[in-house]
Amino acid sequence: MLQISVEPAVALIDVERRITISGAKPQAKVTVKTVTNRAGHDWTSEAVFEADAQGAVDLTRDAPVSGTYQGISAMGLIWSQNHGGQGMLPLFHQDLSQVLETTITASSDDDSSDALLVQTLMAEGVTREEVRVNGLVGTLYRAAGSEARPAVMIMNGSGGGVNEPRAALYASRGYHALALGYFGAEGLRKYISNTPLEYFEKGLDWLRDAVKPKDDFVAVSGQSRGGELVLLLGATYPQKVSAVIGYVPSAFVHGGQAAADPALGRDGPCWLYQGKPLTHIWDNNRFASWKPYDDGPQPRRNSAAMRTALADPEAMRKARIPVEKIAGPVMLISGGDDGAWPSDYYSLLVQSSLLAANHAFPVEWYNHPQAGHSILFPYVPATQIVHAHPVNGNLTTMGGEADVNAEANAASWQAVLQFLSQATA
């Protein structure tokens, strides 16, 4: 009789599970299917395994002979899930306190068995508060317990919105976390163009006042344009930023690009400081061209255009983020097949600038050579690689493949937790 074991059956979403199946005939084919309802849509995966001489299958040991993923991967049935439809769909329920339940079904010959794998985003005691004060729009997740905790402020990239799942997971791991929106959410502007850095300074001040963080520690964490932003914030407000975590970041200031206000254009300004636009790498750049993107094959790679701007050293110099002004540890995460921009090269430049300046704090760079731009979240489907940009609608590839992106998702999160643990020790 087939039996499925999931260890642990219920845990935070960043916990790897061991899935085993017993009771099959020796060397029998065992088909394993999953279905997870995510915000009203079913995501599925399937793999076929050959049982061992004892009639057992262990996903931490065995590679499938066919299915939605290849190779040995304990969580392959999760990261290889697909919704089978068109476009981007959410990975989480709108209410993050609602768990993600994955039904696992194993079948062999005329026998079958089911089990549940439950992923939680909010640990017991974590609380959620909407923030609508002093022009700020975001959501605060407080870590459980009454003792003082370090804090993190999280910003999204060019898709806009409020990154609540990331904040919920930070809080579940012991950090008060403010997911701060700055465009593309209710109560905010639709586009990224002309975003004042002073808005984020208000966010840092509000977060400190609201949670009274341990040792006054407030890190900033952002992805993509948010990765560019957190480096800018660390350089602009060094006394207010305790540490910087940049997922697939930029070493340079960029214009509005894909999330720009059409009235200003993608080469218009993105960031303002003291009422003036920051010089970005497209400004008076002798070689920057959108042609490799506009005329490139579908799905488009934004990185093809980004690389043209790197031929003008003077434009690069003027747009370079002065990261040596950051007064805290810096962590960089990048992908070598980044379809949005060359985050590996950008991260190398940031690291080199900090080392050349004898930066007094740790600098860590985790590059995943085959991964793309979507290095995001541990143990969720990594199959949404090509999609229409949520602002300009262009069909774009983020690069990488699901398996390497999934590996980068899990490894980078564990590295971030280690980085923060050391920074707050």
Catalytic residues: 224, 338, 373
Pairwise CA distance, residues 221 & 246, whole Å: 6
Q: How far is CA 400 from CA 59, 345, 393, in A?
A: 23, 16, 21
Packed helices 197-211 and 225-236: angle between N→C axes, nearest 10 degrees: 80
With contact defined as beta carbons under 8 Å apart, do 60 and 72 qualify?
Answer: yes
Pairwise CA distance, residues 90 & 85, whole Å: 12
Burial of 379 (0-12, 13-18, 19+ CB in 10 A): buried
The closest alpha carbon to 329, from 412, 416, 258, 407, belongs to 416
With contact defined as beta carbons under 8 Å apart, do 111 and 410 qualify?
Answer: no
With contact defined as beta carbons under 8 Å apart, do 123 and 13 qualify?
Answer: no
